[in-house]
Amino acid sequence: MCKTPDSQPYTIDESVHERFDQKKTIFGRIAYDRESRFFGKSIYDNIEAILSKGKEGYSRADLARVMGAWTAYDYFDKAFSWQPLRDANNVLAKPALDTLPVEDAAAMSDMVKETARFYGASDTGIAELNTEWVYACNRKGEPIEIPDQCRFAIVMTIRMDPAAIATSPTFAACAETGLAYSRMAFAIGCLAEFIRNLGYKAIPMGNDTALSIPLAVDAGLGEMGRNGLLVTPEHGPCVRICKVFTDMPLEADRPIDFGLSKFCRTCSMCADACQANAIRTEREPSYDCDPDMNSPGVLRWAVDHEKCFKFWMANGGECSNCIAACPFSHCGKSQ
């Protein structure tokens, strides 16, 4: 049973916490941090040796399916545009209409959620944008500033098939992850254009621009678990998160409490399943973290992302063991 928490759904040490720099993420360090041991590295660096072993779930065809699954997220960059889209493939001219006044923010919020479901979102929540969760800089080191009028974050989850994720760390689970990301790109691109076609600003994003998990928590979609991921009541952590910032007048949802923090204190199944030993096993969350990998000043079980990515490189693909192991992941039916 979900309830509204009596206090904020996370504990912050304001004297330490600051906006995180996306360049400090593993993927930022791969692309731009020449001092990082992961600079220029890829999870596919050892792929030929991995394929040569002939291990089940690691065939050339399996790999091709993985790489194909990422196509929309990796190459359809217009889905992430902050501006209205131009140069359409369709030759038909689009109508230019006036802004639709929003007289009932609650009704419009319901319409946005219904539309997000139509575009492929599993669940959608709305939060008043806390700019503390916006990255200070992007992966290139360029400052990120969100227009003041974009007060709301529409946060969507994209459910993954738990049967596919249960095969982790094989390429079948990797392909399901890639497919979810491509579905994210489709959902945010479509929803952003829906909002723009009503006359409002829309800033769509996947893992870029802002931290997804605290925004999803603010939007009432779930809580953060021991595995460092969003855990939802319906699908556990077996989801991916995307979001759209907007100036459209909306009604914010409230965070939820379904007892996850208490549950994670006595459950370590994700940590036990982590072949990289990247997930903490202490009973209590803490502020202890490497500030070069994690946003400091947040009370949680901080994950060691370097250990995690090092295993990805050895595996030749992403790992979802912690997602597969979570008892909440298998609450829904397979697709």
Tokens of 237: 């952590």
pLDDT band, residue 37 (cuts 50/70/90) = confident
* Distance from C-alpha of 151 to C-alpha of 147, rounded to nearest angstrom: 8
Would you say 51 and 62 are in contact if contact means Cβ atoms under 8 Å apart? no
In a domain, 196, yes or no: yes
In a domain, 324, yes or no: yes
For residue 95, pLDDT beyond 70: yes
Helix, strand and coil content of the chain, in percent to the nearest 5, comes to 35, 15, 50
Give the domain range for residue 223: 22-85+102-330
In a domain, 97, yes or no: no
In a domain, 6, yes or no: no
Residue range 143-171: mean pLDDT, rounded: 97
Tokens of 207: 């893992």
Residue 167 has what pLDDT?
96
What's the number of domains the chain is made of? 1
How much of the chain exceeds pLDDT 90, in percent?
82
How much of the chain exceeds pLDDT 70, in percent?
96
Q: Which residues contact 197 (CB under 8 A, 6 or more apart)?
A: 97
Residue 1 has what pLDDT?
63
DSSP symbols for 296-314: TTB-B----HHHHHHHHHH
In a domain, 94, yes or no: no
What count of other Cβ atoms lies within 10 Å of the Cβ of residue 126? 25
In a domain, 96, yes or no: no
User: What are the tens digits of pLDDT across the range 245-301?
Assistant: 999 999 999 999 999 999 999 999 999 999 999 999 999 999 998 888 888 899 999
Lowest-pLDDT range of 85-94, 133-142, 174-183, 268-277:
85-94
What count of other Cβ atoms lies within 10 Å of the Cβ of residue 155? 30
In a domain, 17, yes or no: no
For residue 7, pLDDT beyond 70: no
CA distances from 18 to 37, 148, 161 (A): 25, 19, 35
In a domain, 144, yes or no: yes
Residue 3 has what pLDDT?
61
User: What are the tens digits of pLDDT across the range 296-332?
Assistant: 899 999 999 999 999 999 999 999 999 999 999 974 3
